[in-house]
A and B are shown apart, each in its own frame.
Chain A
Amino acid sequence: MVTDIVIGMAGSGGDGIVSAGDSLVSAAAREGFHAVMTKSFGPQIRGGESSCRVRLSTERLHNPGGALDVAVALNWDDFLKFGAELKVDGHTIVVYDSKTGIAPDKLPLVGVMPAEVFSVPLTDLTKSSAGTEKAKTSVVLGLLSGWIGLSREVLLAGLKRKFGKKGEELLAANERAFEAGFTYAAEHPMKKPLLMQQPLTKGMGKLLTDGNDITAAAALFSGCQFFGGYPITPSTEVMQLLGREIWKYGGAMVQAEDEIAGIGMTVGASFAGKKAMTATSGPGMDLKTEVLGLASIAELPLVLLNVMRGGPSTGLPTKPEQSDLFQACFSAHGDVLRPVLAPTCVADSFDVTVEAFNLAEHYQTPVIILSDQEIAQRKETVDPIDASKYTVLERRKPTESELQKYARFAPTETGISPISNPGMQGGAYLASGIEHNELGAPSASGAVHSRMNEKRFRKFATLHQRRDLVRVEGDPEAPLALIAWGSIAGVCREALGKAKAEGLPVKLLVPTLVYPFVEDVWREFLMSVKAGLVVEQSYQGQLYRMMRMFLDVPPGISSFARSGANPFQPVEVLARLKELSFSLQGRVSETQRRDA
């Protein structure tokens, strides 16, 4: 019995690979498994290659996993295009269509000898059972159900939901295809069975969603009533869900003519007193930068989600990368500070989005959420979230007496001034991108400018103290450290668990608030560190460089960074940790020798 399994499948656009993955995770979620599914496509809209990885476990999952346990190739050309994303190694069981004409001992996998190879007559099985070639993935589902022991009934019920509406004939064909696969698996058992251990509880009450959808739901939960945006991969699902739901809550979604108009409308809605949001990806961030500065100086709350993809420019629109950190923190002219938050998984996207709205409203500032393509578009089981545990903050409105002699940018002790909105009697003021005094009157005075800059930075004083927005996990005194943010934090969490299991003392720091640094927590964390890795999906290692800018970084800490679309595996992070541990021991014994 196994408790954790990673299945990777690839085929051509029309094969229904991703849809089969959906069926798997949906069935697994109902059965009570924890599941994560990532999809990866070629750049084509229709046709082209497509793939998905499904990871199932009886334990909570933090990432999509490493090398595949089961690899399914409908054809090898498409499969091989996902080299890094569908990694096959010596423990992988490979299943492929014998129609490809490739002999089981001649697989096009360079330098890899899989544990077992099944050349299955997928096309023939499909044709003979379903009477059409189009139900190939239903055969695959049957095979997997048989081999890994994922409930036949639940999978069949899933097929019914999926095909029931499309006519009885199609449904029956797919059911026959499924049974053909199931029977084939029973007749061809694996040498070393991969049967999943059944979870203790069934999946009632589990959520199944992705980062973009849960972010949109979190926005509605937070009271967001306006979204202005422009479609861009991989963030568009946020505006799609809000465009379906936001009206019910008295809000509006506008598909703007461009990215600039999208954030312009968002700033306008915020000025008018509503919680407002926009979402985009790298190229859209470039365009939104000017209006982002306007929101900072006019002290207007807004939430901007950037679902990162590979860059610069058009870059890799469908693949994840963490290379927009510098941009999120620093792309502005003038002196600006704005909070940057990053979720580490789908469930975390809910917390982070609620936090983003709270920070935006409380500090009257734009807040950037840096998600990435993996979290945004990966489907994941989420344990029920108790919404009553979350606080939702509103902006500080002026009191009656403050409205008697209203000063929009009043120099309060906290630097946070009461904010009115059109319609409020006595609260009229001029909001502006031009520097202004406490009353909002434009000013070019150096004295006013430095006073207002000081106010706009002072208001974040309490943000720098938010220790809860940086998570430290593992052994607090460990000399070995991992530092990671966003989706890569999930890889490091798993590496941390593996290290612990091997008796290697390691600790992990994951900033939810990536910028500004909550310096106290970082300083305390770094104090005991002799060696460590900052693991990042960017060529430059942007967080590592920012640490060097703002913190005293111990010399033993190095950057472990690589470009997007080249996923990190928990085992390779562990291997690096071991190397560091060995060299530390070496260093220690050398010191001891010298001392002796």
Chain B
Amino acid sequence: MTTLSPNVFKSELKPIWCPGCGDYGVVQALYRALSAIGRPPHEVAFISGIGCSSRIPGYSTAYGFNTVHGRALPVAQGVKMANPDLLVLVAGGDGDGFSIGGGHVPHAIRRNMDLTYLVMDNQVYGLTKGQLSPTSPRGLETVTSVYGSFEQPINPLLTVLSAGAGFVAQGTPADMPGLATLVEEAIRYPGFAFINVQSPCVTYGEDDQQLRAHKTRMKSLDSVGHDPSNFMQALEKSTQYGTELYTGVFYRNPNPPKSYDVLVRERQETLKPAAVPRERMLDMFLQK
């Protein structure tokens, strides 16, 4: 396989994110990861929902599909079913994935197709200018929670772990090379892989959620002796979401089951001999 430079994956569209947005680092990490994987851009399908971060497929030279709010996962699963050879990436924000599209997350996980799902989690709605998000900390004052919010935030890591995801990681663009490695590992995992990217909103985000703060707060799971093959440890570490900024792999199933797309292929192969020629399709209704 010829090596492809990260630039091969960079499109001509100029991102319209705010200067200083965390998503710039995320897209850089993606270019790097895809370069390391080495599949050419036309074999990659990059599906997103709606939100600032969902613009990301447009900035890559892969096939992209910027769908509707909250529906990136279903569309991506349809793509994978139609052509399991494709490398399928899914991206969106915390609102897209855990609010409007939240119903799809556990089902995509239990279906376990070989997909990589990146959530750019900034704890706020940026595109609609600063409202409460499902991961906003309790009490946050925003334009839609003027006196502070009553809801406790969703914990994305705990949510996907409890739904049975085989690969769960967290990264930040404050450590772009580290994030690139995580994306690469997620792509290589043969099943549904989830990365929560703490990607700061420079315009509406809180001060302790900015890149500068990340640089001092982030703590690699390696450095605290975390064993990513230990599910209970992963659960325990993931409960620190919102207090500790862990980076790295929380959980990697040491014995990944066959992914859905592999099972589908096997079923197709098994049943193929029973196919009838198309012109004889209606014979199944014949009164003999």
Q: Is A294 an interface residue (CB 8 A)?
A: yes
Q: Is the interface of B mostly helix, strand, loop or mixed?
A: helix
- Whether A264 contacts B78 by the Cβ 8 Å rule is yes
Are A422 and B63 neighbours in the complex by a CB distance under 8 Å?
yes
> Given A269-B82, A271-B75: A257 and B285 within 8 A (CB)?
no
Shortest A207–chain B CB gap in Å is 4
Cα A217 to Cα B281 in complex, Å, equals 6
**How many chain-B residues does the 8 Å CB contact rule pick out?**
57
In the complex, A226 has a CB within 8 A of chain B: yes
Q: Does A51 contact B (CB under 8 A)?
A: no
Residues of B within 8 A of A214 (CB): 282, 285
The contact string, 1 if C-beta is below 8 Å from chain B, for chain A 450-477, is: 0000000000000000000000000000
**Whole-angstrom distance between the Cβ of B268 and the nearest chain A Cβ:** 5
What 3 A-B pairs have minimum CB-CB distances, sorted nearest first? A268-B78, A264-B74, A265-B78
Q: A221-B278, A248-B271 are in contact. Are A430 and B81 (CB under 8 A)?
A: no
Interface residues of A (CB under 8 A from B): 26, 29-30, 203-209, 213-214, 217-218, 220-221, 223, 225-226, 228, 245, 247-252, 254, 256-258, 260-262, 264-274, 276, 290-291, 293-294, 298, 350, 381-382, 384-385, 387-388, 421-434, 441-442
CB distance A256 to B74 under 8 Å?
yes
Interface of A is mostly: mixed
A479 to B: closest C-beta gap in Å? 41
CA distance A264 to B66 in the complex (A): 12
Q: Check if B272 sits within 8 Å of A248, measured CB to CB.
A: yes
On whether the beta carbons of A252 and B81 are closer than 8 Å, the reply is yes
Closest to A208 in B: B287
Query: Could you list which residues of chain B lie within 8 angstroms of chain A, going by C-beta atoms?
Result: 13, 40-45, 47, 50, 55, 57-58, 61-68, 71, 73-83, 85-86, 103-104, 107, 111, 264, 267-268, 270-272, 274-276, 278-282, 284-288
Cα of A204 to Cα of B82 in the assembled complex, Å: 38
Q: In the complex, what residues of B have CB within 8 A of residue A272's CB? A: 45, 78-79, 82-83, 86
Known: A207-B285, A248-B274. A442 touches B66 (CB 8 A): yes
Q: In the complex, what's the smallest C-beta–C-beta distance from B78 to chain A, in angstroms?
A: 3
18 A-B contact pairs sorted by A residue (CB < 8 Å) = A29-B287, A206-B287, A247-B267, A249-B275, A257-B107, A260-B71, A264-B74, A265-B74, A268-B47, A268-B76, A268-B78, A269-B78, A270-B78, A291-B68, A422-B45, A432-B64, A432-B65, A433-B68
Known: A247-B267, A252-B264, A429-B63. 10 other contacts (CB 8 A): A207-B282, A220-B278, A226-B78, A228-B78, A260-B74, A264-B71, A268-B78, A387-B278, A422-B86, A427-B63
Contact A423 B107 (CB under 8 A): no
CB atoms of B71 and A291 under 8 A apart: yes
Q: Which of A247, A262, A267, A442 has the most CB of B within 10 A?
A: A247
Inter-chain contact B107/A250, CB cutoff 8 Å: no
Flag if A433 contacts B66 (CB, 8 Å): yes
CA distance A384 to B64 in the complex (A): 45
Tell me which residues across on chain A come within 8 A of B81, comparing CB atoms.
226, 228, 252, 254, 265, 268-269
| B40–A425 touching, CB < 8 Å | yes
Contact (Cβ within 8 A) A422 B42: yes
A433–B67 alpha-carbon span in the complex (Å): 6
Q: Are B103 and A423 in contact (CB under 8 A)?
A: no
> A422 contacts which chain B residues (CB < 8 A)?
42-45, 63, 79, 83, 86
A268 touches B82 (CB 8 A): yes
Shortest distance between the CB of A386 and any CB in chain B (Å): 8
Residue pair B79, A261 in contact (C-beta under 8 Å): no
Query: What residue in chain B is nearest A258 (Cβ atoms)?
Result: B103
Tell me the minimal C-beta distance from B281 to chain A in angstroms.
5
Q: Which residue of A lies closest to B276 (CB)?
A: A248
